Amino acid sequence: MTAQGRESGFGKDLIGLEALTGDQIEAILDTAEPFKEISERKIKKVPVLRGQTIVNLFLEPSTRTRISFEFAEKRLSADTVNISSAGSSVQKGETLVDTARNLEAMRIHMVVVRHGSSGAAKFLADRIPSNVINAGDGQHEHPTQALLDLLTIRDRFGAIAGRRVCIVGDILHSRVARSNIWGLLKCGADVAVCGPRTLIPAGIEELGVQRLDSIEEAIEWCDVLYVLRLQLERMEGGYVPSLREYNRVFGVSSERLGRAGDEMIVLHPGPMNRGVEIDSDVADGPRSVILPQVTNGVAVRMAVLYLLAGGRPELAEDAKAAAR
């Protein structure tokens, strides 16, 4: 296996879930299952990616996604280098195409990229033979976030198909929402979005989701309430009048959850604005699976790294066992 232009059964890169089939997505989740256990071990390391070099290219601030990827890489024994925009050549005005060429010249195997512009991950993937994993590009996609969300939903309900999932909040600016919409639809879920009309993007129904206008209606309807972070700058942009108003109209409170079905769970991609989009008693309450999401994040990212490096889903158990 060489680093040059290698391809797994999932393609060279993971840019978004829009391009994957439901079967491929389920296969990634299946692959993540055996990797979950590695994180529970005392020595959390297997040699699956030994000798592989991975660059974490984070050109936009990120804490949990970057750390989650780093843990996934280290637990698979990859050699990693972190680049962030601050202090890098990017800050000195280097273009993305030059960054790509320079990385390639160093003969790396994979790039995990976070970037503020939609399409940046694909831009990079089209220009270098290394595997590219999108860790969030602008408002386009954040596929590993959606995969860990899907895994969390599957863990709870046994299957994604047939479940009703409502994504609440700033759909317009959210790459998490887009990746979840594609992933959920491809896995057979019913998907709705709910939020102020100023933050619901044009033509959202054409993607195959329904729009619910009230949070009460959303809570009654869904099995999974996916609460998005309300970025504070949205207020300055004039999308919502105030945080207080947002909380009043769309905030998820335990009082509002009184209308929910018994099994209904609450997800949030983090970081949370407690008291804005979600109240603390919900975030920390019995319906919340927010911390299991974070745990699953490492397993899903291990699975993605393993698969793009040429691993096969049915051999994941062996790969893990061989390490013992």
**Count of residues engaged in binding other proteins, rule: CB under 8 A:** 25
* Site membership for other proteins, residue 95 (CB under 8 A): yes
Q: Shortest distance, CB of residue 167 to other proteins, whole angstroms?
A: 13
Interaction between residue 58 and other proteins (CB under 8 A): no
Q: Please, which residue, 141 or 149, has the CB nearer to other proteins?
A: 141
Residue closest to 256 by CA, chosen among 232, 235, 228, 225: 225
Closest approach of other proteins to the CB of residue 118, in Å: 4
Q: Does 232 bind other proteins (CB under 8 A)?
A: no
Closer residue to other proteins in complex, CB, 9/116: 116
Question: Active-site residue 65, yes or no?
Answer: yes
Whether cis (ω within 30° of 0) applies to the bond prior to 271 is yes
Cβ 166 vs Cβ 190: under 8 Å: no
Among 52, 134, 139, 152, binds other proteins (CB under 8 A): 139
75 classed as catalytic? no
Q: Is 137 in the site for other proteins (CB under 8 A)?
A: yes
> Taking CB under 8 A as the rule, does residue 62 contact other proteins?
no
One residue of 19, 67, 161, 207 binding other proteins per CB under 8 A: 207
Spot the catalytic one: 64, 74, 211, 312.
Answer: 64
Instruction: Exactly one of 36, 75, 109, 114 is catalytic; name it.
Output: 114
Residue carrying structure tokens 């619910």: 212
Q: How far is the CB of 172 from other proteins (least distance, A)?
A: 8
Environment class of residue 10 by beta-carbon count within 10 Å: exposed (0-12), middle (13-18) or buried (19+)? buried
Residue 234 interacts with other proteins (CB under 8 A): yes or no? no
CB 306 within 8 A of CB 76: yes
Q: Among 186, 173, 301, which Cα is nearest to 240's? A: 173
Query: Rounded to the nearest whole angstrom, what is the least distance from the CB of residue 272 to other proteins in the complex?
Result: 23
Measured from the CB of residue 50, what is the shortest distance to other proteins in angstroms? 34
To the query of whether residue 295 is one of the catalytic residues in this protein, the response is no
Among 13, 73, 141, 277, indicate the residue that binds other proteins (CB under 8 A): 141
3-state SS, residue 232: coil
3-state secondary structure 138-201: CCCECHHHHHHHHHHHHHHHCCCCCCEEEEECCCCCCHHHHHHHHHHHHCCCEEEEECCHHHCC
Exposed, middle or buried: residue 21 (CB in 10 Å: 0-12, 13-18, 19+)?
Answer: exposed
- If one asks whether residue 170 binds other proteins (CB under 8 A), the answer comes out as no
Residue type, 79: D
The window from 160-168, 195-203, 240-248, 276-284 that contacts other proteins (CB under 8 A) reads 195-203
206 binds other proteins (CB under 8 A): yes
Instruction: State whether residue 274 is helix, strand or coil.
Output: strand
Shortest spacing between CB 201 and other proteins, in angstroms: 4
Listed residue (252, 292, 263, 34) closest to 149, CA to CA:
292
If we measure between CA atoms, which residue out of 171, 133, 174 comes closest to residue 28? 133
Using the rule CB under 8 A, is 118 a contact of other proteins? yes
Tell whether the torsion through CA atoms of 134, 135, 137 and 141 is positive or negative.
positive
Footprint (CB under 8 A) of other proteins, residues 10-29: 18
Quote the least distance from Cβ 198 to other proteins, whole Å: 13
- Enter the tokens of residue 246: 């947002």
Residues that bind other proteins (CB under 8 A): 18, 95-97, 115-120, 122-123, 137-141, 175, 178, 201-204, 206-207
Active site residues per annotation: 64-65, 92, 114, 142
